[in-house]
Amino acid sequence: MARCSKCGRKAVIRIHYARMNLCAEHFIEYFEGRVKSAVIKYGMLKHGDSVLVAVSGGKDSAALLASLTSVSKELGIKVKAVHLNLGIGSYSAECLKVIKELSKVLGINVEVVGVKDVLGVGIAELARRSGRPECAVCGLVKRYFINAYALTSRVNAVATGHHIDDLAPYALKNILLGNIGSAAKLGPVAEGVEDYLVRRVRPLYEVYERECLVYALIKGLPFVRNACPYTYVKGIESEVRLFMDSVDVKHPGIKLRFMRSIAKEYARWVSSEGYGRCRVCGMPSRGEVCGFCRLTRKALGVEAGPSVIKYLSRIAGS
């Protein structure tokens, strides 16, 4: 039986890249230390900031909310949480149930915003009416709602639960496809623009997915076990993911080093990114009208941006 490298008790995890075995107690300390040091090292948040965590019901965002809350006093930050109910049948119902439990376990209020309550339809119906893939519509809606909610609730940043195993395959896939600019966007911080684009930070930038899972299990955090019915598991990214997993087994920590190099490169690229404002709703847009207003015009016959912002301002102000 493997023993904890720090105290000699029974180990629950081996951290290959650090050549350490850790018991439950020392692993929690290790994980939260990684989150805290990433926040400081990459300048994600400063003393006095408030940060919004968007919790999906999955293990990664649950681990993010719990760990960030745990280190919030030391960092001098305030943590808020929101859950976007996507209206995807029994999957979203399970997510909502889990979120209510998570809120109880952590003693944190998680504001719930229902896409259906605002738009009258959920993701699947929006996708059907617009003729676009569910995940493309979902990504657009999530980005729009979370950005608008964060702006109306006046937080300094939104924290997302992306870890190394999300980011590294996506970055490498983009490099292989020649989209270097997209890979460069995967740094630990995406700066915002006052009034219409909130700053986004990734406190799990230096942790692996299995570490999030073990952290959530030890802490007893509830999370959904079933995947969304629209999860797409084929394609280049999943092949790249398998390739990177096997390389990381032979060369522990190679994914981590890869993401650190992206973080370095990222600083050179990010300044070239430019957004304008949607002429309908005032939110970030690369064209005259933002993607969300175009999507809802096609699916619902109305550009719904302004009514979503009004709705979210009411919730954030209540």
Binding residues (CB under 6 A) for ligand SF4: these are 123, 134-135, 138-139, 228, 230-231
User: Among Zn ion, ligand SF4, none, what binds residue 143 when CB lies within 5 to 8 Å by partner kind?
Assistant: none
Read off φ and ψ for residue 44, nearest 5 degrees.
Answer: -70, -45
**67 or 147: CB nearest Zn ion:** 147
User: Among ligand SF4, Zn ion, none, what binds residue 66 when CB lies within 5 to 8 Å by partner kind?
Assistant: none
User: Among Zn ion, ligand SF4, none, what binds residue 280 when CB lies within 5 to 8 Å by partner kind?
Assistant: Zn ion
| Smallest distance, ligand SF4 to C-beta of residue 113, A | 15
| Smallest distance, Zn ion to C-beta of residue 300, A | 13
| Smallest distance, ligand SF4 to C-beta of residue 69, A | 24
The tokens 């030391």 sit on which residue?
74
| Smallest distance, ligand SF4 to C-beta of residue 185, A | 18
**24 or 65: CB nearest ligand SF4:** 65
**112 or 280: CB nearest Zn ion:** 280
**What residue ranges bind Zn ion (CB under 5 A)?**
4, 6-7, 9, 23, 26, 278, 280-281, 290, 293, 305
| Smallest distance, ligand SF4 to C-beta of residue 146, A | 13
**36 or 83: CB nearest ligand SF4:** 83
User: Among ligand SF4, Zn ion, none, what binds residue 287 when CB lies within 5 to 8 Å by partner kind?
Assistant: none
User: Among Zn ion, ligand SF4, none, what binds residue 135 when CB lies within 5 to 8 Å by partner kind?
Assistant: ligand SF4
Which residues are CB-neighbours of 226 under 8 A, at least 6 positions away?
Answer: 91, 94
User: Cα–Cα distance between 209 and 228 in angstroms, integer?
Assistant: 18
User: Among ligand SF4, Zn ion, none, what binds residue 6 when CB lies within 5 to 8 Å by partner kind?
Assistant: Zn ion
Contact at 8 Å (CB) between 213 and 225? no
**77 or 281: CB nearest Zn ion:** 281
**108 or 135: CB nearest ligand SF4:** 135
